[in-house]
């Protein structure tokens, strides 16, 4: 695998690359090979302070004066620039995360569409007006919340960044975004492209850094008005506490343990390969990975066998090979964590039907793994493993399926496979998840609200609703009366 060490990646503050105040550069390695990838600057507290100041100045200056039509044009121009640089960005993402380049390309397409959707959605930002009766008139103004502090994880670095950047910029906010310290490269590159297409300095600032240090400081910074966080539920709880000082606006996109329900009347030729994709895409490192496959009892043994046969055929390997369907995990440490869950599953009585041992070599590879004979109370059925590990759980009937689907602290996504359309719609209402798929494995589309019930968080990404999270509503009351009010009759 070739090595991309041509340049260092600095912070991005006030429209340009910036040295970190304490000069810290970290060497990144490619998770799939262990080879060096490049050096990245890590932001400390002073750097976050500089970024927040730049974001505030942008709001008070050029960016704050940029009219919606021009914001829309800039977002489209950034989408065009990503398309023009897609080869470089896809390769960078694949190397940095260890993910298959075919996946990186698909996510890049979505990143582009996010900017385009929000560029168009700007047209929907409008207040309301109505006469209150008598001589009173009311109208409302929609104003940007201010400086948005955004924190994203390592699993979809560029796509998650665009989920956050596009609504914030469309609403007219300025942004300080903290990528995960291990995966900031594509986001830094997109910020450079944003300057090239004309975004004013300070509208977009990128400060890679550690979570409990740089991230926590960003959330606590008094100059930040709104926090948008994507990450684990445990970290989300910490962020919520920090954001409460200063009563910051907050949205949280957190973990999942999403069910995939397969009924005996389903079309198995579709349900099986789609269910395989739904867990192993991105090596299971997806918040909405359908990691609990619930199967109606008469089907169970046959399903486990056919599912495992399909999973075994996934092409795992070099992320840069266009044929690869599943790359490596993000790191050796993460692989150990994933394997620890599999071991725990074995101890608790699950049967490992496929995979279950780390792959030899320098890369952080872990094979597609199937755990059968799983009870929903087991650790492997309750905790987010965040790796290529599926748990297959039997159910008796529709009622039992709904009970098991909901018997978990998360509620992000659920997929239902059935030949009975009425059942699909019935269950869509009974399952407590932010997103339901009926005979369809895909999850995130620009324009369709995405987010969680229960401990999967609150707030929605990708939809028109998302814009509201970056806007304040100001009510203006106007008298049209020729007479003074003089309420005290003084």
With contacts defined by CB under 6 A, name the span among 11-19, 70-78, 224-232, 263-271 that binds ligand NAD. Answer: 224-232
In the chain, count of helices (H) and strands (E)?
16, 23
Q: Is residue 180 a contact residue for ligand NAD (CB under 6 A)?
A: yes
Q: Is residue 408 a contact residue for ligand NAD (CB under 6 A)?
A: no
**DSSP state letter for 292:** E
**DSSP state letter for 281:** G
Cβ pair 71, 403 in contact under 8 A: no
Does the annotation mark 253 as catalytic? yes
Does the annotation mark 196 as catalytic? no
Neighbour tally for 88: CB within 10 Å: 12
Q: Going residue by residue from 128 to 157, which x/- string records binding to ligand NAD, judged by CB under 6 A? A: -----------------------xxxxx--
Shortest reach from residue 370's CB to ligand NAD, in Å: 21
Q: Is residue 219 a contact residue for ligand NAD (CB under 6 A)?
A: yes
Q: Out of 30, 91, 181, 253, which one is annotated catalytic?
A: 253
Q: Is residue 206 a contact residue for ligand NAD (CB under 6 A)?
A: no
Q: Is residue 259 a contact residue for ligand NAD (CB under 6 A)?
A: no
| Residue closer to ligand NAD (CB basis): 1 or 448 | 448
State the sign of the Cα–Cα–Cα–Cα dihedral 276, 282, 283, 285.
negative
- Judged by CB under 6 A, the residue of 256, 345, 368, 388 near ligand NAD is 256
Beta strand 204-206 with 226-230 is: unpaired
Cβ pair 272, 307 in contact under 8 A: yes
| Residue closer to ligand NAD (CB basis): 111 or 353 | 111
Q: Nearest-CA neighbor of 304 among 276, 334, 327?
A: 276
Neighbour tally for 21: CB within 10 Å: 16
Question: E strands of 3-85, at which residues?
Answer: 8-9, 11-13, 16-18, 25-29, 36-41
Spell out the residues 6+ positions from residue 211 whose beta carbon is closer than 8 angstroms to its own: 151, 180, 181, 231, 235
Q: Is residue 459 a contact residue for ligand NAD (CB under 6 A)?
A: no
| Residue closer to ligand NAD (CB basis): 85 or 285 | 285
**Phi then psi dihedrals of residue 395, to 5 deg:** -135, 160
| Residue closer to ligand NAD (CB basis): 10 or 227 | 227
Cβ pair 423, 433 in contact under 8 A: no
- Judged by CB under 6 A, the residue of 15, 146, 149, 255 near ligand NAD is 255
- Judged by CB under 6 A, the residue of 40, 384, 466, 470 near ligand NAD is 384
Shortest reach from residue 452's CB to ligand NAD, in Å: 6
Rounded to whole angstroms, the Cα distance separating 295 from 404 reads: 11
- Judged by CB under 6 A, the residue of 98, 200, 211, 317 near ligand NAD is 211
- Judged by CB under 6 A, the residue of 320, 329, 412, 431 near ligand NAD is 412
- Judged by CB under 6 A, the residue of 79, 171, 185, 287 near ligand NAD is 287
Q: Which residue has the tokens 């070739």?
A: 2
| Residue closer to ligand NAD (CB basis): 89 or 412 | 412
| Residue closer to ligand NAD (CB basis): 66 or 230 | 230
- H helices of 245-353, where? 268-280, 300-312, 332-348
- Residue in the shown chain whose Cβ atom is closest to ligand NAD: 211
Q: Is residue 220 a contact residue for ligand NAD (CB under 6 A)?
A: no
**Phi then psi dihedrals of residue 291, to 5 deg:** -90, -10
DSSP string for residues in 90-152: HHHHHHHH---HHHHHHHHHHHHHHHHHHHHHGGG----EEEEETTEEEEEEEEE-SEEEEE-
Shortest reach from residue 82's CB to ligand NAD, in Å: 20
| Residue closer to ligand NAD (CB basis): 178 or 292 | 178
Q: Out of 93, 107, 287, 296, which one is annotated catalytic?
A: 287
Active site residues: 253, 287
Give the binding site for ligand NAD (CB under 6 A). Answer: 151-155, 160, 178, 180, 211-212, 215-216, 219, 230-232, 235, 238-239, 253-256, 287, 384, 386, 412, 452, 456-457
């Amino acid at each position: 695998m070739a090595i991309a060490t041509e340049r260092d990646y600095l912070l991005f503050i006030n429209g340009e690359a910036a040295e970190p105040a304490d000069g810290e550069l970290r060497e990144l390695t490619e998770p799939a090979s262990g080879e060096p990838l490049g050096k990245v600057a890590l932001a400390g507290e002073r750097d976050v302070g500089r970024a927040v100041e730049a974001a505030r100045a942008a709001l008070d200056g050029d960016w704050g004066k940029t009219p919606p039509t021009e914001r829309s044009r800039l977002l489209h121009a950034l989408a065009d620039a990503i398309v023009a640089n897609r080869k470089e960005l896809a390769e960078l993402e694949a190397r940095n995360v260890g993910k298959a380049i075919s996946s990186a390309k698909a996510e890049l397409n979505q990143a582009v569409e996010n900017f385009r959707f929000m560029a168009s959605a700007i047209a929907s930002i409008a207040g309301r007006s109505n006469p209150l009766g008598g001589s009173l008139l009311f109208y409302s103004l929609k104003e940007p919340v201010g400086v948005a502090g955004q924190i994203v994880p390592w699993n979809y670095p560029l796509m998650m960044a665009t989920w956050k950047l596009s609504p914030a910029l469309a609403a007219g906010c300025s942004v300080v975004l903290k990528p995960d310290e291990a995966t900031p490269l594509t986001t830094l590159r997109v910020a450079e492209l944003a300057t090239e297409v004309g975004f004013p300095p300070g509208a977009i600032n990128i400060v890679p850094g550690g979570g409990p240090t740089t991230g926590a400081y960003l959330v606590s910074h008094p100059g930040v008005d709104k926090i948008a966080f994507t990450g684990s539920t445990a970290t989300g709880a910490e962020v919520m506490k920090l954001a409460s000082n200063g009563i910051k606006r907050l949205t949280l996109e957190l973990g999942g343990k999403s069910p995939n329900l397969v009924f005996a009347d389903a079309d198995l030729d579709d349900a099986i390969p789609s269910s395989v994709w739904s867990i192993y895409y991105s090596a299971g490192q997806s918040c909405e990975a359908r990691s609990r496959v619930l199967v109606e009892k008469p089907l169970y043994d046959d399903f486990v066998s056919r599912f495992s046969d399909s999973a075994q055929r996934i092409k795992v390997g070099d992320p840069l090979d266009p044929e690869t369907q599943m790359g490596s995990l993000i790191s050796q440490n993460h692989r150990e964590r994933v394997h620890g869950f599999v071991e725990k599953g074995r101890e608790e009585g699950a049967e490992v039907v496929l995979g279950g041992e780390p792959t030899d070599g320098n890369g952080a590879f872990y094979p597609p793994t199937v755990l059968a004979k799983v009870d929903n109370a087991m650790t492997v059925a309750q905790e987010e493993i965040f790796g290529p590990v599926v748990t297959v759980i039997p159910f008796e009937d529709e009622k039992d399926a709904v009970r098991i689907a909901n018997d978990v602290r998360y509620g992000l996504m659920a997929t239902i496979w059935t030949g009975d359309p009425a059942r699909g719609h019935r269950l869509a209402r009974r399952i407590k998840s932010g997103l339901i798929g009926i005979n369809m494995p895909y999850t995130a589309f620009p324009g369709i609200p995405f987010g969680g019930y229960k401990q999967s968080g609150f707030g929605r990404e990708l939809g028109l609703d998302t814009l509201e999270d970056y806007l304040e509503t100001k009510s203006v009351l106007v008298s049209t009366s020729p007479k003074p009010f003089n309420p005290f009759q003084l």
